Amino acid sequence: MSGWAKKRFWKDTAVAEDESGFGVRLDGRAVKTPAKAALIVPTRSMAEAIAAEWEAQDGEINPTAMPTTRGANAAIDKVRIQHGEVADMLAEYGNSDHLCYRATQPEELILRQEEAWNPLLEWSASELKAPLARVSGIMHCAQDPESLAQLRKRVHALNEFELAAFHDLVSLSGSLVIGFAAVHRWSPIERLWEISRIDETWQEEHWGVDEEAQAQAEIKREAFFHADRFFGMSR
């Protein structure tokens, strides 16, 4: 099967293993990606999650309720083909990492950023061998080329499934360091999400909650959490 079916047509959903990995079968027919590549994933846990998403479909197929399937499709159809370009794009976050740009006022926000972000940058320096400079304000601060090279090397070492998940961890948090902290289990994923949104949380506390912005933040939060789960299923 390729692409998205409009309605459920199958009765049986099963995981199948072969020498290349794990796939999903619908009434014995192999599921394929939208580009008609074999949907073969690296772990049984990922295949089982994909199978569960297909099994849960009833009547009209809802692709938005199938994030693991969509993630696998992206890894195979897009990231696998453009691995170098995707890795380079994500590595560039190291040169403008969200954690490196600090508020100039008020003091309360400055201290909140320091308490949450400084330990992550210290971890990057010690564990990732990539110290990053901090700056007050939004003017760009060029980072040490050796640190950026270390981060780029680590990004390029990820396989296509890991990189697909890592893309969302980094882009949704605005931080390459937070992305690495997530995959290295530096802190619970819930805490890392909170750390990435210190500025937004402070604004909500002082200016109130915008319902539309809150709804968008919730969508991003769930995507961030799913990316963490997807990365875990990739290895």
In tens, the pLDDT along 87-105 reads: 999 999 999 999 999 999 9
Q: Are residues 61 and 87 in the same domain?
A: no
Instruction: For residue 74, tell me if it sits in a domain.
Output: no
Q: What is the largest CA-CA distance in the chain?
A: 62
CB 192 within 8 A of CB 182: yes
Same domain for 134 and 171:
yes
pLDDT at 206 over 60: yes
Number of structural domains in the chain: 2
Are residues 103 and 56 both part of a single domain?
Answer: no
For 12-52, what is each residue's pLDDT tens digit?
Answer: 999 999 999 999 999 999 999 999 999 999 999 999 999 99
Band of residue 159 on the pLDDT scale cut at 50, 70, 90: very high
224 and 132 together in one domain: yes
C-alpha torsion sign, points 75, 76, 77, 79: positive
Query: Is residue 95 located within the same domain as residue 211?
Result: yes
**pLDDT of the residue at 210:** 86
In the numeric block, which tokens belong to residue 12?
């049986």
CATH number of the domain where residue 38 is located? 3.30.2180.10
Mean pLDDT of 148-157: 98
Q: Is 113's pLDDT higher than 80?
A: yes
User: Does residue 2 form part of some domain?
Assistant: no
Which amino acid, one-letter code, is at 30?
A: A
Position 4 confidence tier, pLDDT thresholds 50, 70, 90: low
Say how far apart CA 174 and CA 63 lie, in whole Å: 26
107 shares its domain with 208: yes
Q: Which amino acid is at 160?
A: E
Residue at 72 is within a domain:
no
**3 in any annotated domain:** no
Give the structural domain span for 23: 13-66
Strands (DSSP E) along 120-231, which ranges? 135-136
Kindly report the pTM of this predicted structure: 0.94
Model confidence at 209, in pLDDT bands (50, 70, 90)? confident
Give the separation between CA 95 and CA 159, rounded to whole angstroms: 22
Q: What is the pLDDT of residue 211?
A: 87
**CA dihedral sign, ordered 163, 168, 169, 175:** positive
Taking residues 195-204, report their average pLDDT: 95
